[in-house]
Amino acid sequence: MTLVERMRSGLGRRGARTAASPAVLPAMLGVPVGLWQAVFFAAPLGFLVVVTFWTVKSFRLEPDFSLANWERILLSGPFQRALLYTFEISLLSAVLTLLVALPAAYTIAFRLPRWLRDLAVTLLIVPVFSSYMLRIYAWQIVLSPGGIINSVLRFLLDLELNLLGGQISLQVGLLTLTLPVAILILVMAFSGIDRTLIEAAENLGCRRVRVIWHVMLPSIRRAIALAGSTAFLLAFGDYISPLFMTGSKPPTLSILIVDTVKSGSQWPRASVVGVSMLVILALVFLAVAWAGRAGKGGK
Amino acid sequence: MTALRRASRLAQYGFLAGVFLFIATPMLVIVVFSFDANRFPTIPWGGFSLDWHIAVLQDQMVLDAFLHSLMVAGSTAAIATVLGFAAAYIDYRYLFRGKTLFILAVAIPPAVPASIMGMAMLAFLSRLGLFGSLTAIVVCHVAISTSFAMAIIRLKLNDFSRDLEPAAWNLGASPLATLLTVVLPFCRPALIAAFFLSAAVSFDEFLIAWFVGGTMETLPVRILNLLQGQVNPKINAIGTIVLLISVTLVLIAQHFTGLRAGGKRKA
Amino acid sequence: MPDALVQLKALDKRFPGHHAVRAIDLDIAAGEFIALMGPSGCGKSTTLRLIAGLDTPTGGEILIAGQRMNDVPAFQRDTPMVWQSLALFPFLSVIENVEFPLRMKKIHAAERRKRALEWLERLGLAGMADREIAQLSGGQRQRVAIARALVIQPPILLLDEPLSALDAHLRVRMQTELSRLHKELGITFIYVTHAQSEAFALADRIVLMNEGRIQQIGRPQHVYREPANAFVAEFMGANNIVSGTAAGTAGDKIAIAGPLGTFLVPARGRTVQGRASFVIGADRVSLSATGGEGALKGQVIGLEFVGSTQTVFIEVGGSEFRVQKQQHEIDSLDLGPGREVFLTWQAEHAWLLPDAA
């Protein structure tokens, strides 16, 4: 098995201490994982790309090599509108997330005592893995015309706001998704800044605000890009917030996919939407990475 | 300038409190109003009632879904921890052509939007005849959770001195014995954390489970289906239980990672 | 050495981009304390790892007790090592660490514990059996590492710069302990170090290496006083090398003529032609305020005070001489930078370098 042979050859002194070990062990360890990911991750996605070229004849999916699906979808009005819309809300979400996350992360990293900081980190990790869907449902309750906020407003100011159904509620939903992760990334980044840089800047006469702007933010440039990209990624692929906050009007790309799949056998078209999304996400990440490297200059 | 500084500090703390309130509100709403006698959660509060919780515990579909979720999460956690350890150890120890691709294949899945992943899985697995079973859900969840498991264990291996394995060989341990008596015990806290986090990821995942599970519903899928209908007060009750479980799983995982904001504590 | 315990025959190790060990030959006798010495990157640690089986040779052979070891994996050789980083298992207690090799040999629990406790006591760690590694001091951890290596009573103990992580005062104490252990156990110690003082204090023989090759093997004093080449002479530190051309003989001595003058050096049965160099130890040069017959005139560049000895750096005709003297010997000379001073030495103390290159 050439993979095993390659592992045995081991490049370099550090890390590849294969001298005293048979190549059986790495094969035993590596093959199950590799195979699992290949079969249950790479293959389905690969299959998806393949399906985009297939055609549906009398409700049956048939292998083909046709660009018809691509033409049909890419040129269709609804798709293009959904694409633009999804891109716009994701961009907006990324920006809003950063605007909220940066000050919050700064406060956590620098203005809280250690125990409170650890508590804050815990309180941020928990929502990332707990029932995003339920939390959006909760917002729906809170923001709806008969909900908590409006009840309070009606009681206090005799006012009723139409909070649900618009960009505000959508962005609230997306923030619920993106904020915890973004704040965590930035807290880790802020905590990791070399303190001597900050002290040097203050020693040279910079006030706090200037230290933040000129020393800290540039130091965590990569983390900011990561937090923003992650927020963009999460928002771009989200299904729940647009569904519950705006009732799928207008639809995002994920909603398009789910609806197309639900409505029957239009697999190739749904696949086109999916593959297009992946391509766009990849391009966005590459653009961010390239911008990061270009900005670094001669570092 | 101290008045200004004090005001600015106050603003910072206030802003942070607001952010946490924003993050906490949904969860609080769910829990608090699950005990509200009113059908629709609103102010004023309708009086304390356990009705919805009782109704949930008697709902067979909910109970089945809950059982399914436990089974799926348990299996996912076990398999993902094993695979995640293998991937982390390989990343730590070996250098080979194609390693980047290998590690990427393990690390990337959570970054793919669940709608796309779900659709791809559905198309692929139905051709394999695996659609509509808990196995199908487990299989997909493992592909995603392994990424988290690998990350946690790989982080722990950063503290694993490069001399420890050669020292073990030198003292008479075969590579397999070294793995079992040195590497695994060292990684124990990370393995536990990986297990519970993988369980949390699987327990919480709804979209792929919805695509792939068919009539075999997990709890989030049941909730999703309930949500598509009218506002249902049982949802708050289910939600409370789900939140409780998720939070517990994540807290246990976090305890064993020893992750801290200013650097790692030696776990 | 016909019945040497460890034999390295044309042992060679090549890494991609780095030829670490170049076909060296070495025989190590049973029971001897041998030190592998040299600057960083000279191949001493690699050689030790090859003996332990942690790397495989790219050429040559390793024989232990007459058996070829090249294809024997590390865990089947009885060559336990004391590591520079100590490599103690942090998740095991002190006694569990010491028991580890016995556990690998499938010795059952009661016997394991008994032997481990014996060794802990022998190394002055009685009562620490159940402590965590993190609770121990540097010196205590060092001793746990040694106990763990010796608990299986191996014929060979490998040590890779084991004392370099300790502070100076502890280092000296541990040196004494290692020496004592060696005498008590009578097994072979193969010790890697870059510190000359350690090698001198502990070893029966020194192997000096540079760039993957053995430069000289011998007893410490011998290597120090009778270096085989210029590298050895310089590495040993306090030596002055004077170069010139062979210019005839005078009795049992050879004359070497160079820019600084002509000097007589004992021939010791060797003949030499053309370029030649000799070595005169820094502690063998005498200083005086007034010149005399054959004295070299020089100017003091600087002084370095190390405890009770002074090293004086003197510029003589474009070359730098190093002279080491006890403080009281040069007090009267009132030396300082720029002062003039005269150097002499006895011809018998000069050592002709066999390899002038």
The answer to whether the beta carbons of residues A197 and A219 sit under 8 Å apart is: yes
The answer to whether the beta carbons of residues B19 and A106 sit under 8 Å apart is: no
Across A81-86, average pLDDT: 92
What is the rounded distance in angstroms from the CA atom of residue A58 to the CA atom of residue A265?
10
The answer to whether the beta carbons of residues B253 and B197 sit under 8 Å apart is: yes
Residue among B70, B69, B107, B115 nearest B88 (CA):
B107
Kindly report the backbone phi and psi dihedral angles of residue C15, in degrees, each rounded to the nearest multiple of 5, phi listed first.
-105, 160
Both structure tokens of B114 = 């669940």
Residue C100 Cα, gap to closest chain B Cα (Å): 8
Q: Does A75 touch chain C (CB under 8 A)?
A: no
**Does residue B98 lie within any of the structural domains?**
yes
Q: Which of residues 22-41 of B touch A (CB under 8 A)?
A: 22-27, 29-30, 33, 40-41
What is the rounded distance in angstroms from the CA atom of residue A130 to the CA atom of residue A139?
15
Report pLDDT digits (tens) over B226-236: 887 776 778 88
- Is residue B192 over pLDDT 70? yes
Its domain, for residue B94, covers: 59-257
pLDDT at position A165 is 76
Residue A118 Cα, gap to closest chain B Cα (Å): 6
Cα A76–Cα A77–Cα A82 angle in degrees, nearest 5: 105
What is the rounded distance in angstroms from the CA atom of residue B228 to the CA atom of residue A240?
11
What share of residues in chain C are helix, strand, coil (percent, to 5)?
30, 35, 35
Inter-chain CB pairs, A–C, below 8 Å: 17
User: Contacts of residue A21 in chain C, CB cutoff 8 Å?
Assistant: 73
The distance from CA C332 to its chain's CA centroid, rounded to whole angstroms, is 36
Q: Does B116 touch chain C (CB under 8 A)?
A: no
- Is residue B118 over pLDDT 80? yes
Across B55-69, average pLDDT: 89
What is the rounded distance in angstroms from the CA atom of residue A239 to the CA atom of residue B209?
14
Q: List the single residue in A with minimal CA-CA distance to C52.
A: A20
Residue B183 Cα, gap to closest chain C Cα (Å): 10
Both structure tokens of B111 = 């970054």
Is A19 in Cβ contact with C53 (below 8 Å)?
yes
What is the rounded distance in angstroms from the CA atom of residue B4 to the CA atom of residue B10?
10
What is the rounded distance in angstroms from the CA atom of residue C158 to the CA atom of residue C156?
7
What is the rounded distance in angstroms from the CA atom of residue A140 to the CA atom of residue A237?
20
Cα(first)–Cα(last) distance of chain C, in Å? 29
User: Contacts of residue A128 in chain B, CB cutoff 8 Å?
Assistant: 250
Tens of each residue's pLDDT in chain C, 357 residues: 667 899 999 999 999 989 999 999 999 999 999 999 999 889 999 999 999 999 999 999 999 998 999 999 999 998 999 999 999 999 999 999 999 999 999 999 999 999 999 999 999 898 888 999 999 998 899 999 999 999 999 999 999 999 888 888 888 889 999 999 999 999 999 999 988 889 999 999 999 999 999 999 999 989 988 888 889 988 887 788 888 888 888 888 888 888 888 888 888 888 888 888 888 888 888 888 887 777 888 888 888 887 788 888 988 888 888 888 888 877 777 788 888 888 888 888 888 888 654
Instruction: Provide the number of structural domains found in chain B.
Output: 1
Q: Does A105 touch chain B (CB under 8 A)?
A: no
Q: List the single residue in C with minimal CA-CA distance to A19.
A: C55
| CATH 2.40.50.100 is the classification of domain C240-352 | yes
Please state which CATH class domain C6-225 belongs to.
alpha beta
- Is residue B267 over pLDDT 50? no
What is the rounded distance in angstroms from the CA atom of residue A151 to the CA atom of residue A159?
9
Residue A85 Cα, gap to closest chain C Cα (Å): 54
DSSP SS3 for B1: coil
pLDDT at position A17 is 45
Burial C83-99 (b: 16+ CB within 10 A, else e): bbbbbbbbbbbbbbbbb
Residue B262 Cα, gap to closest chain C Cα (Å): 22
The answer to whether the beta carbons of residues C231 and C210 sit under 8 Å apart is: yes
Q: Does C106 touch chain B (CB under 8 A)?
A: no
Strand partners, C325: C310
Q: Which fold has domain A87-250?
A: MetI-like fold (1.10.3720)
Please tell me the number of Cα atoms within 13 Å of C132 on its side-chain side: 4
pLDDT at position C191 is 96
Q: List the single residue in A with minimal CA-CA distance to B107.
A: A37
**How many helices and strands in chain C, by DSSP H and E?**
9, 20
Q: Would you give the DSSP letter of residue A192?
A: T
Is C74 in Cβ contact with B186 (below 8 Å)?
no
Both structure tokens of B212 = 């792939």
Q: Does A6 touch chain B (CB under 8 A)?
A: yes
Q: List the single residue in A with minimal CA-CA distance to B12.
A: A107
What is the rounded distance in angstroms from the CA atom of residue A55 to the CA atom of residue B136?
26
Mutation target among B21, B116, B218 for the A interface, most CBs of A within 10 A: B116
Name subunits touching C (3+ CB pairs < 8 A).
A, B
What is the rounded distance in angstroms from the CA atom of residue B33 to the CA atom of residue A42?
43
pLDDT at position A77 is 86
- Is residue A8 over pLDDT 80? no
pLDDT: which is higher, A10 or A204: A204
Is A135 in Cβ contact with B30 (below 8 Å)?
yes
The answer to whether the beta carbons of residues A62 and A54 sit under 8 Å apart is: yes
CATH number at residue B134: 1.10.3720.10
Query: Domain residue spans in chain C?
Result: 6-225, 240-352
Minimum-distance CB partner of C80 among B170, B177, B186: B170
Both structure tokens of C222 = 């011998």
Q: Would you give the DSSP letter of residue A52?
A: T
What is the rounded distance in angstroms from the CA atom of residue A144 to the CA atom of residue A151?
10
What is the rounded distance in angstroms from the CA atom of residue C145 to the CA atom of residue C91?
15
H or E stretch covering B124? helix B114-128
pLDDT band at B165 (very low <50, low <70, confident <90, very high): very high
pLDDT at position A64 is 77
Q: Is A120 exposed, middle or buried (0-12, 13-18, 19+ CB in 10 A)?
A: buried
- Is residue B45 over pLDDT 90? no
Distance (Å) of CA B79 to CA A139, B71, B187, B202, B248: 35, 12, 16, 12, 20
Query: Domain residue spans in chain A?
Result: 87-250
What is the rounded distance in angstroms from the CA atom of residue B1 to the CA atom of residue B8?
11
Is C152 in Cβ contact with B172 (below 8 Å)?
yes
Both structure tokens of C78 = 């009885």
Q: List the single residue in C with minimal CA-CA distance to A16.
A: C55
- Is residue A13 over pLDDT 60? no
pLDDT at position C297 is 86
Mutation target among B1, B20, B29, B219 for the A interface, most CBs of A within 10 A: B29
Distance (Å) of CA B39 to CA A131, A274, B215, B236, C182: 22, 39, 28, 10, 84
Residue among C53, C66, C40 nearest C13 (CA):
C53
Q: Is C261 left (phi over 0), alpha (psi -120 to 50) or beta?
A: left
User: Contacts of residue A20 in chain C, CB cutoff 8 Å?
Assistant: 53-54, 56, 73-75
DSSP SS3 for A194: coil
Q: Is C298 left (phi over 0), alpha (psi -120 to 50) or beta?
A: beta
**Does residue B138 lie within any of the structural domains?**
yes
- Is residue A3 over pLDDT 50? no
Across A147-156, average pLDDT: 78
Kindly report the backbone phi and psi dihedral angles of residue C157, in degrees, each rounded to the nearest multiple of 5, phi listed first.
-120, 130
Report pLDDT digits (tens) over A217-234: 888 888 999 999 999 999
The answer to whether the beta carbons of residues C47 and C191 sit under 8 Å apart is: no
Cα C177–Cα C181–Cα C187 angle in degrees, nearest 5: 145
Name subunits touching B (3+ CB pairs < 8 A).
A, C
The answer to whether the beta carbons of residues B173 and B250 sit under 8 Å apart is: no
pLDDT at position A12 is 31
Both structure tokens of C177 = 């302990």
Residue among A66, A265, A270 nearest B126 (CA):
A265
Distance (Å) of CA C303 to CA C198, C239, C317, C332: 25, 16, 18, 15
Is C87 in Cβ contact with B166 (below 8 Å)?
yes
Residue among B83, B89, B41 nearest B231 (CA):
B41
H or E stretch covering C327? helix C327-330
Q: Which of residues 20-49 of A touch C (CB under 8 A)?
A: 20-21
- Is residue B259 over pLDDT 80? no
pLDDT band at A10 (very low <50, low <70, confident <90, very high): very low
pLDDT band at B8 (very low <50, low <70, confident <90, very high): confident
pLDDT at position C57 is 94
Distance (Å) of CA A179 to CA A199, C7, C57, C248: 30, 65, 55, 89
Report pLDDT digits (tens) over A19-73: 444 567 888 888 999 999 999 999 999 999 988 888 877 767 777 787 888 888 8
Cβ count within 10 A of residue A64: 14
The answer to whether the beta carbons of residues C249 and C301 sit under 8 Å apart is: no
Cβ count within 10 A of residue A283: 10
